[in-house]
Amino acid sequence: MKVRSRSDLETLRAEGLSTLYPSRLKISVGMATCGLATGAAAVYDALRDEAARRDLDLMLVATGCLGYCQQEPLVEVRRPGRDPVLYARVTADRARELIAALAEGELPTEGALAIIPEEKPPAGSKPAGGLPRLNDLPFYSRQHKIVLRHCGLIDPASVAEYVAQGGYEALAHALLDLTPEQVIDEVLRAGLRGRGGAGFPTGRKWQICQAVPIQPKYVICNGDEGDPGAYMDRTVLESDPHSVIEGLIIAGYAIGAHQGYIYVRDEYPLAVERVTQAVARAEELGLLGENILGSGFDFNITIVRGAGAFVCGEETALISSIEGGLGEPRPKPPFPAVSGLWGKPTVINNVKTLATVPVIITRGADWYASIGTEQNAGTVVFSLVGKVANTGLVEVPLGLTLRDLIEGIGGGGLNGKAVKAVQTGGPSGGCLPARLFDLPISYETLTQAGSIMGSGGMVVMDEDTCMVDVARYFIGFTMAESCGKCAPCREGTQYMHQILTRITAGEGSVEDLELLEEVALWVKKASLCGLGQTAPNPVLSTLRYFRDEYEAHVKEKRCPAGVCRALIRLSILSELCNGCGLCRRECPAGAISGEKKQPHTINPELCTRCRICYDVCPVGAVEIVR
């Protein structure tokens, strides 16, 4: 089949609806990377085999990620005429039990998390007994899903299901009803800003590129997401690849480009696979290629796999990498919109930016601009991770406070511990203290506070996190990922790492703090590209907000959080120890001795301060002496 017109899209839509809402039992398993990492593949196999064994008529589908990664593997059971029920943390055994129950016409309540009412529930559907709606759960209630609108709800391999949810409607509208200028104007008025982190107005970028009287032009989707703890681009590419493809074609139409690239890091094999499949499928259907939807507009997409350099997320380095050169940034200006790939005008947009574009075209600029705040319209996706009760991908309107995000959606600290700080924006984001949690989230407020919006990483830290150690960890990351081209980033990150290592080893001095700040400011101001310019943020922000922790390390040789090995000692409180011997068996250094049911002791000469004993002791008898 070829999709050559709007009516062909309708045909595809009908096909999609029939698999989205079939008239037989349907089970969907979340099989994005987060699901697979927790065993979703085994769950899928168990469901399939058990259903076959019991001769149960079942439509089994692999979907993407619903965002509640902590509850993976997530399994959605949809019986015709009933609200689908979502099961959390499903194992292969539980999957077989589920099939057994379904074969008996029953729906188990154990492990059921919520119901997912469908947008267009079939007539006569009844809510399942006593379960909350998914969108009423604290994790979801304040979310507003635009980028993640289809993730986990459709089969990423099915273009028909994407179309059934309204996909490629925006493309038809743009190509058949709007001029490129009108498309740009819509995106401009919507107030969409670059979701790669820098927040440059997307419409403005398109406008600049469109105005350059040079052909050919190119448009690139930047999917080189490399931040530790951030995985929103991966999720979108894995769970809803057509939204990105649609956005990319619209961007190409707007600026006058006929060739697009999707640059995906090769460490995301599933994203590469799904997006490759999706491009091939769009080509088969004629949604890519010549004369798309009969509009006369031609557009093709090439997928480029990144070879594992963090710096290639920087646009000029990414361009150099596509050209076959070293992944190294070059000075700007000229900006890529004027002189980019092969020296031609090039727009580079992040995965999330492009995934947003079709929604803006379909629902209009005014609707999008009404979400969020005036200067920060729309929604932003965060990967909420670290020492927080609920982890996962969350999409919230801009302007929500950090507190709403961390305490509301995240449910506060893990195991009830007090949250001390949050790092936003990936490895080069700053660490903001809990007292600033009432800050509304926007590009400007985060920058003023010493952090960045960045990729959308949101790492929560509690009282057991040493902020000096955190700064050392992140500078270690940027040091290893610095390409080494410019002196400040190459030499400066390495020196900052040296100083921080010295401080955490208890060998730092007060002068080190001054030197650290001087070097950090230099790297921030004098570096060639965004990597170096933001790399010192973790250092500068912790120096600004947690100076007392640094001072404790250098003046008192004490690590207040009890993390830095050189500055702590472990001992067993004999009055609490019941002599169970667990710590003795777990200690990798053989440093613990004691008779059964007698208080144990730690030999400080052998102890490596790994804290395993502290973590395993069932009665809390191991004490960290700070």
Contacting range for another protein; rule: CB under 8 A; set: 61-69, 261-269, 273-281, 322-330: 322-330
Nearer to another protein, 175 or 475 (CB): 475
Among 260, 488, 530, 594, binds another protein (CB under 8 A): 488
For the bound state, the minimum distance from the C-beta of residue 536 to another protein, rounded and expressed in Å, comes to: 13
For the bound state, the minimum distance from the C-beta of residue 333 to another protein, rounded and expressed in Å, comes to: 6
Among 114, 309, 421, 446, binds another protein (CB under 8 A): 309
For the bound state, the minimum distance from the C-beta of residue 423 to another protein, rounded and expressed in Å, comes to: 22
Residue 494 is a binding residue for another protein (CB under 8 A):
yes
Among 124, 331, 416, 588, binds another protein (CB under 8 A): 331
Cα separation of 243 and 267, whole Å? 21
**Are the C-beta atoms of 6 and 294 separated by less than 8 Å?**
no
Residues 443-482 that bind another protein (CB under 8 A): 479-482
Please give the full DSSP string across 216-240, using - where no structure is assigned: --EEEEEE----TT--HHHHHHHH-
Cα separation of 499 and 405, whole Å? 34
Please give the full DSSP string across 392-434, using - where no structure is assigned: EEEEEETT-BHHIIIIIIS-SBGGGPPEEEEEESSTTSPEEEG
For the bound state, the minimum distance from the C-beta of residue 339 to another protein, rounded and expressed in Å, comes to: 11
For the bound state, the minimum distance from the C-beta of residue 371 to another protein, rounded and expressed in Å, comes to: 31
Residue 504 is a binding residue for another protein (CB under 8 A):
no
Residue 208 is a binding residue for another protein (CB under 8 A):
no
Nearer to another protein, 377 or 516 (CB): 516
Cα separation of 417 and 600, whole Å? 28
For the bound state, the minimum distance from the C-beta of residue 367 to another protein, rounded and expressed in Å, comes to: 34
Token output for 519: 């070097």
**Are the C-beta atoms of 258 and 216 separated by less than 8 Å?**
yes
Among 49, 267, 491, 586, binds another protein (CB under 8 A): 491
Contacting range for another protein; rule: CB under 8 A; set: 182-190, 227-235, 255-263, 330-338: 330-338
Cα separation of 546 and 316, whole Å? 35
Strand segments (E) across 266-391: 300-306, 346-350, 379-386
Torsional sign, CA 611, 613, 619, 622: negative
Cα separation of 297 and 303, whole Å? 20
Residue 485 is a binding residue for another protein (CB under 8 A):
yes
Cα separation of 505 and 73, whole Å? 41
Residues that bind another protein (rule: CB under 8 A) add up to a total of 33
Residue 525 is a binding residue for another protein (CB under 8 A):
yes
Nearer to another protein, 29 or 486 (CB): 486
Cα separation of 349 and 202, whole Å? 8
For the bound state, the minimum distance from the C-beta of residue 196 to another protein, rounded and expressed in Å, comes to: 21
Residue 383 is a binding residue for another protein (CB under 8 A):
no
Residue 495 is a binding residue for another protein (CB under 8 A):
yes
| Bond from prior residue into 73 cis (ω within 30 degrees of 0) | yes
| Residues engaged in binding another protein (CB under 8 A) | 309, 311, 326, 328, 330-331, 333-334, 479-488, 490-495, 498, 515, 518-519, 522, 525-528
